[in-house]
Chains A and B, each alone.
Chain A
Amino acid sequence: DTTVKQNPRYKLARVGKPVNLICSQTMNHDTMYWYQKKPNQAPKLLLFYYDKILNREADTFEKFQSSRPNNSFCSLYIGSAGLEYSAMYLCASSRRDRATEVFFGKGTRLTVV
């Protein structure tokens, strides 16, 4: 199974409320990534986990949190959603020994109102 699963596919959140997005894979990939995609913009890397080491991009450092309780799961957490967080969030995974194969999920579309 080469799928990356994301739940839910659509999420509605209120301004100021927390949001938690979930991603899972069963390919034993050591690296998992989160991207944000807004309309008419390029997908933008937010952060990635290599094993249990979290790497966050400098310009989104304070806006997003993440956890990886085990190899298969990774979450993206927004502590207080703002309208600017409305976007598609794509999860992806890869293995360092097969470094050119990156698998993406279908995404979670987050709408903040």
Chain B
Amino acid sequence: GDSVTQTEGLVTLTEGLPVMLNCTYQTIYSNPFLFWYVQHLNESPRLLLKSFTDNKRTEHQGFHATLHKSSSSFHLQKSSAQLSDSALYYCALSDKGTQVVGQLTFGRGTRLQVYA
């Protein structure tokens, strides 16, 4: 079945430094949807980024990611971390096209902690 592998555990950064959270995936489906969800403390996971287009950069709220099917990757990046970026980040994959996109395979999550 499908699988998603993320940067393990906790990533700590000083405010202002760049953010890079890795995500790679495995699927036999040729047109997967890839997502990044962010979950702040005591909040629900919410969609941060999504893509199904190969080699096209997608951006939202200062974060960006590019789906690279050749390397099965969808890394999350931001040029300058902010304290408010501290949260749990999930990479997720859907191989159901546009029909049942909530049928997701998640990674284990990466906790980002940004310090002043």
Q: List chain A positions with a Cβ less than 8 A from chain B.
A: 3-4, 31, 33, 35, 40-45, 48, 50, 90, 92-94, 96, 99-107
Contact = CB atoms under 8 A, between A and B. Distances in A.
A42 B100 contact: no
Contacts of B107: 42
B103 interface: yes
Chain B interface residue number, banded: 20 to 34
Leading 4 A-B pairs by shortest Cβ distance: A99-B98, A42-B106, A102-B102, A104-B44
Contacts, number: 63
A8 B29 CA distance: 37
B45 A33 contact: no
B108 A33 contact: no
A106 B43 contact: yes
Contacts of B98: 96, 99-100
B100 A105 contact: no
A101 B99 contact: no
Interface of chain A, helix or strand or loop or mixed?
strand
Interface of chain B, helix or strand or loop or mixed?
loop
Contacts of A96: 98-100
Interface string B36-49: 01000011111100
A45 B44 contact: no
Given A42-B108, A42-B109, A43-B90, A100 B101 contact: yes
A40 B108 contact: yes
B46 A104 contact: yes
Contacts of A94: 100-102
Contact of B47 (A42, A48, A102): A102
A31 B44 contact: no
